[in-house]
Structures are given as C-alpha cells and as structure tokens.
C-alpha cells in the first residue's frame, strides 16, 4: 500500500503527529507563527499561507465556507502541496472515517475478547472486511458507497450465523 500522507483532524494534531507529509485541520484557536509573531489562524482571511506551527513549517489553507460547514483551517507539512492536494487528501481521510464507522455498525466492537486468539481473530476479521470493501470499491469499478458495502458485509455476517457466534466464548467442560 502506497501511503501519500498521514492525516489528522484538529483533535490529534500535536508536536508528535506533526511530521513530514502530514495533512490535517487546525482549530480556530490554533496559533501559528508568521513574520516572527504568533497569530491565531482565525485572523487570516481566506487563502494560502506559509507559516510555522509548533516549530514546523506548514502550508495553511483557510477556506471561508467549506461545503457549508463554515470556516475551516487545513494544512500540509509538504509546502509543495497545492490547495487541491490538501483538500483531496483531507476528503480521502473522511472516506476512511465513514468506513470505520460502518464496520463498527457491523457489531465488530461489541463483545468480550479475553484471549489472544479472540483478539487476533477480531483483527483478522476486521482486516478481511476492509479488504472486501476495498475490493468492491476499487477493483470492480462499482461505485458503491460505504453504507451500501457495509450493509452487504453485514448481511454476509448474518448469513454466517452472526458475528457474535464467531467469537462466542466457549466454556471448558
């Protein structure tokens, strides 16, 4: 798998996650350094800026109304990224968030996993689910959304007797 960038939302951006090839979003209260002075990103008008955040040079992208969600502050540590690169990378992150939410809806988060065997089975099943979703979404050319794919996987699990049956705790005789 070829990873283009690490992507974080505003809650996870800190000095440890702010590395080369990182794309993310900043809170409006985040302060950046421009021209030697510390300025809240909320003071910048819409546009692109080369600033420093937590000691790291970033390209800041301020958008006044991002898809009806109001003012947003995106950034990339790759100063050569265009505004389109930053937004595309950010939007691809959202596809992953939706996929994870849908996999959780399958019931994969419920239940007790007390042993290494159950935990490794859980991880394998989650990875297999992700592989199935990726196969359908990208290999077949079908433009199915994450919700439709999640419903398909959920119906497969139901036909197999349910996810909880796969990980049911067995009592020793």
DSSP code string of 95-113: HHHHHHHHHIIIIIT-S--
What is the pLDDT, as a whole number, of residue 143? Answer: 61
Here the tokens at position 107 are 């019931």
The radius of gyration computed from the CA coordinates of the chain, to the nearest angstrom, equals 21
Residue with tokens 């800026």: 49
Question: Which pLDDT belongs to residue 27?
Answer: 92
pLDDT, residue 65, reads 93
- Return the pLDDT at 124: 75
Those residues of the chain that have pLDDT short of 50 are 1-2, 112-113, 167, 169
Q: What is the pLDDT of residues 134-160, one digit of tens each?
A: 676 666 666 666 566 666 666 666 666
Contact, 29 vs 13, CB < 8 A?
Answer: no
């Amino acid at each position: 798998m070829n990873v283009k960038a690490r992507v974080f939302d505003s809650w996870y951006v800190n000095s440890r996650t702010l590395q080369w090839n990182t794309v993310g979003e900043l809170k409006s209260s985040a302060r950046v350094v421009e021209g030697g002075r510390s300025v809240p990103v909320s003071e910048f008008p819409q546009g692109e800026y080369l600033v420093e955040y937590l000691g790291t040079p970033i390209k800041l992208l301020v958008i006044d109304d991002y898809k009806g969600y109001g003012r947003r502050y995106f950034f990339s540590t790759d100063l050569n990224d265009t505004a389109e690169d930053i937004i595309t990378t950010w939007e691809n992150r959202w596809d992953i968030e939706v996929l994870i939410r849908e996999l959780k809806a399958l019931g994969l988060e419920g239940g007790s996993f007390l042993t290494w065997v159950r935990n490794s089975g859980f991880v394998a099943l989650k990875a297999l689910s992700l592989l199935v979703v990726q196969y359908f979404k990208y290999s077949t050319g079908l433009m199915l959304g994450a919700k439709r794919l999640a419903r398909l996987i959920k119906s497969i699990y139901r036909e197999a007797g349910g996810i909880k049956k796969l990980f049911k705790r067995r009592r020793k005789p």
